Amino acid sequence: MTTNLPCSRRRRFGFTLVELLVVIGIIAVLIGILLPALSKARDQANTVKCAATMKQFYNAWQMYATNYKGHVLPTRLQDWDPQTGGGAEFGFFEGTFLGSVLKHNSGAGLGGGNRGLDTALIIKEVLTCPSASHDSDPDADQAAAAALKSVYFGDYIYNSYMGTYKRGTGPGTPPIPTHINPKITEVPGNVILLMESRKPNVIRDSTGAFIANPNWEDGNAKYYFEKNNEIWTTDVSAGQAASALKPLRIGTPHRKSKLMNVLSADGHISLVDPYKDFFTDPKDQGTVKQYLWNGKDDQHTGWRRGVPGI
C-alpha cells in the first residue's frame, strides 16, 4: 500500500530564489571587501619588483664605474660622424654605455651593428617597471628598432649630471661636455640617480605604426632629468605650494599614483611622494631640495649631504 505524505513533510531539493539571491549578495559583499586588499597586495608586490629592477641597475652602475676608472655611467652623448657629417644621440640605456656592462653591445661602437636590439635587451633587463602601464606600448624590440631607438627608454629617467656630452659645431669636432662625468666618489650618497618616468613616449599613428609622441608636454619625451622644469611642467616658484605643480617627466605609478621609487647614489631605494619629499616645506616651492639631483654647474658644487630620508 502506498502512503502519500503531506506536502509539508516532502523532501525538498535545491534552493529557493530568495536563498540564491541571499548567497549571491553575500558573495558580492565578500568580493567588494577582498578586491581592494588584493589590489593593494598586487601593488605592493609590483613596488618590490620595481625596487629589485632598480637594484639591478645600481649593480650595473657600480660595475660600469669599476670598468671605467671610477667614472660613473654617462647620461648621453651626441656625436658627429666625421665621414658623413651627420650625428646621433646615444643614451645611457644603449649598448654604448649600459650594454658594455650587460654584454648587450653587439653594436660594436657608436651606432654600429644591432643598436636597436641592444637597446631592447637592456630595457627589458633593467629598465621596466611592473607597476607602470604598458597597455599602449610597443614591445621593446619594436620600439628599439629604426627611428624609435632613441625615444623609447623604458620606465625610468637618469640624472643628466652623471655626464652629458653635446655634439660639437661641425664634422670631426669633439663632443663638448656640458656636465663633466664625475667619479663615483664625487657623488654624494643622497643624490638621486634614477626616477620613474611618465608615459607614453611613443604612440601609434593613423596607420597603426609606432612613432615618437609629438604631443608630449615638452615636445619630446626625454630619458634624463636635470632642471626643475624638466621634472615639473613649470619651474618651481617660491611661495606657492608644491601641490600646484604638475609632473612632467617623473612618474608615480605606485599606490594610486601618489608615490614613486627613486634610486640614490648610495644604493638606497626610497618610495617617496615627490610633492612632499622633494621639498623642505611642501607649502613653499622655494624650498625644493635641488641638491638631490642638480649639480648646478660642471663641478657639481650644488651637491651636498641633505636631510636623511631620500
- Radius of gyration of the chain from Cα atoms? 26
Report the C-alpha gap between 66 and 185 in whole angstroms: 12
- By mean pLDDT, which of 87-91, 99-103, 223-227, 285-289 is the weakest? 87-91
Q: For the residues 192-196, what does the mean pLDDT come to?
A: 95
Q: What is the pLDDT of residues 124-152, one digit of tens each?
A: 899 999 888 777 777 777 766 656 766 77
State the pLDDT at residue 209: 76
Lowest mean pLDDT among 80-89, 160-169, 249-258: 80-89
Per-residue pLDDT, averaged over 27-42, amounts to 70
Which of 276, 277, 250 is closest to 194 using CA atoms? Answer: 250
Place of cell 629604426: 146
Is 10 a residue whose pLDDT tops 70? Answer: no
Residue pair 194/158 in contact (Cβ under 8 Å)? The answer is yes
Share of the chain above pLDDT 90, in %: 31
pLDDT-based confidence at 216, cuts 50/70/90?
low
Check pLDDT > 60 for residue 309: no
Side-chain-side CA neighbours of 306 within 13 Å: the count stands at: 23
Higher-confidence position of 197 and 172: 197
pLDDT computed for residue 282 by the predictor: 94
pLDDT beyond 90 at 168: no
pLDDT score of 8 more than 80: no
